[in-house]
Amino acid sequence: GTLAMTTGPNLPTPLPTKLRELSCADDYDPNSMPVERARTIIRQFLTPITATERVHIRAALGRTLATDIVSPIDVPGHDNSAMDGWAVRFADLARGAETTLTRIGESFAGKPFAGSIGAGETVRIYTGGVVPPGADSVVMQERATATATGVRIEAGALSKAGQNRRFAGEDLKAGETVFRAGQALYPAEIGMLASLGINEISVYRRLRVAFFSTGDELVAIGTPLAAGQIYDSNRYTIHGMLTRLGFDAVDMGVVRDVPEDLEQAFKAAAASADVVITSGGVSVGEADFVKVLLDKLGEVVFWKIAMKPGRPLAYGRVGGAHFFGLPGNPVSVMVTFYQFVREALLHLAGRRDIEPLPMLRATLSAPIRKVPGRTEFQRAILTRDADGGASVRTTGDQGSGILSSMSRANCFVVLGADVGNVDAGASVEVQLLDGLN
């Protein structure tokens, strides 16, 4: 198929058109596609967003910086006290004996002492107060006793000059590159921007992702079920996963398995979004007419991924939009989203240094039966065991239609394609779903 539609309005550059050349690669077998290979192929075809917009930092949570941020100032701007106490010259303190100093003023946070400290003098200072010129250290108030004219400092209250003093620029230095373009903004980053006095920043515009469900058996919630019908749940999990990642989720409803309806839906979705995600209709038997249609509208490959759940997956582009055709089973939708789509969408949204979900290791508390040949993503519950280590057990029935297994799980146990049965007590790889599922 040739590119029948023009590039979508949101994608400034045409997508690479080499997808069809894949079949020439030696290790390309669409019917047995390793998980890692699929990830690598998808990554090759992703063109990140370049359009930007300016937002207030309060509206920047989860957004992606479009420019580097260079610190305009030192943070903190002055040497200041890390605690309530007395600003002193270290050299004034007697070795192994008390020292009495004369109080000449006070330094509050936001209200510095106007003068400087000479020999034998001290300034009462509070946390965040500017350390006056002449002083080099702060004695904490618990190591000193105020007198009528000053303070008596305990022997050994300081062991070296500079103690209890925060240095100008110790957090961020003027001229330093604080963040790089492509950095995601979370609470710490937003607070750091505020500490630099920056109120508006440039971020990539939000990725627009249109999605619809396919299937004659599907009924939208709010309508009674007839015999053999089921409620469309995939649109709601997809909406949730997209929204949580900060994308603009465009719900295109349920579409019947009718070629004309599907063509209309694909065209409308591709014209209005950067990415189109569908669920259902990519398994054997259903894929045939969808394939013909998508070959007409763009360029799509149908894979059988060597994984469980989530075997069928379609990937490519429809018009100017990237396309992910997820399987219909509710668990497969979530697993394929987290294993392939999440990473790809973050990349498209302008994020750099994206990793797949982080892996950690845990001890399996009950055996898992498995046939080698496919990577399995078993829904599981990770807990701390008595000695502080991590134990993991599956949620039970791993059927790809059992969505409650995703709800009860807090992680996937990832068993590689080469692995067979796994015994209790074995160390296994785990991907945490915290904050994602």
Tell whether omega for the bond before 72 is within 30 degrees of 0, i.e. cis: no
Choose from Mg ion, ligand AMP, none: what does 217 bind? Cβ within 5-8 Å by kind. ligand AMP
Q: Between the CA atoms of 400, 404, 408 and 410, what dihedral angle is there, to the nearest 10 degrees?
A: 40
Name the DSSP class of 4.
-
| Of the candidate residues 112, 129, 281, 320, the single one contacting ligand AMP (CB under 6 A) | 281
CA 246-263-276 angle, 5° bins: 15
| Distance between CA atoms of residues 133 and 116, nearest Å | 5
Q: Closest approach of Cβ 213 to Mg ion, in Å? A: 9
Please report how close the Cβ of residue 251 comes to ligand AMP at its closest, in angstroms: 12
Phi/psi at 156 (nearest 5 deg)? 75, 20
Q: What 3-state class would DSSP assign to 189?
A: helix
Options 98, 154, 217, 295; binder of ligand AMP; rule CB under 6 A: 217
Return the number of the residue (52 or 233) whose C-beta is nearest ligand AMP: 233
Position among 230, 292, 366, 424 found at the interface with ligand AMP (CB under 6 A): 230
Q: Answer whether 209's CB lies under 8 Å from 235's CB.
A: no
Judged by CB under 6 A, how many residues of this single chain contact ligand AMP? Answer: 17
| Smallest distance, Mg ion to C-beta of residue 286, A | 5
Assign 3-class secondary structure to 327-348: CCCHHHHHHHHHHHHHHHHHHH
Task: Note whether 85 binds Mg ion by CB under 5 A.
Answer: no
246: alpha, beta or left? (left if phi > 0; alpha if psi -120 to 50): left
Q: At which residue do the structure tokens 């110790």 appear? A: 170
Report the nearest approach of Mg ion to the CB of residue 328 (Å): 5
Residue 360 in contact with ligand AMP, rule: CB under 6 A: no
Work out the number of other CB atoms within 10 angstroms of the CB of residue 197.
Answer: 10
**Of 132, 150, 169, 280, the one binding Mg ion by CB under 5 A:** 280
In angstroms, the CA 381 to CA 408 distance is 7
Residue with smaller CB distance to ligand AMP, 235 or 393: 235
Least Å distance, CB 297 to Mg ion, is 19
The one segment of 48-56, 62-70, 202-210, 280-288 that binds ligand AMP by CB under 6 A: 280-288
Is 251 one of the binding residues for ligand AMP (CB under 6 A)? Answer: no
Kindly tell me which residue out of 150, 215, 298, 350 binds Mg ion, with binding defined by CB under 5 A.
Answer: 215
- Decide: is 327 part of the binding site for Mg ion (CB under 5 A): no
Nearer to Mg ion, 253 or 373 (CB): 253
Q: Cα–Cα distance between 240 and 243 in angstroms, integer?
A: 5
φ and ψ at residue 343, rounded to 5 degrees: -60, -45
Angle value at C-alpha 191, between 187 and 193, nearest 5 degrees: 120
Comparing CB distances to Mg ion, the nearer of 29 and 257 is 257
Question: Could you say whether residue 286 binds ligand AMP (CB under 6 A)?
Answer: yes
Any contact of residue 319 with Mg ion (CB under 5 A)?
A: no
Q: Report residue 335: phi and psi, to 5°.
A: -65, -45
In the numeric block, the tokens 């692995």 are attached to 419
Binding partner of 237, given Mg ion, ligand AMP, none, CB within 5-8 angstroms per partner class: none
- Among positions 305-344, residues that touch ligand AMP (CB under 6 A) are 327-330
**10 Å Cβ neighbour count for 401?**
13
Q: Toward Mg ion, which CB reaches closer, 280 or 319?
A: 280
71, 107, 163, 234: which one binds ligand AMP (CB under 6 A): 234
> Cα separation of 140 and 138, whole Å?
6
CA distance linking residue 88 with residue 152, whole number of Å = 12
Q: Any contact of residue 283 with ligand AMP (CB under 6 A)? A: yes
Among 233, 272, 391, 410, binds ligand AMP (CB under 6 A): 233
Nearest distance, CB of residue 343 and ligand AMP, angstroms: 22
Contact positions toward Mg ion, by CB under 5 A? 215, 280-281, 328
Residues that bind ligand AMP (CB under 6 A): 213, 215, 217-218, 230, 232-234, 279-281, 283, 286, 327-330
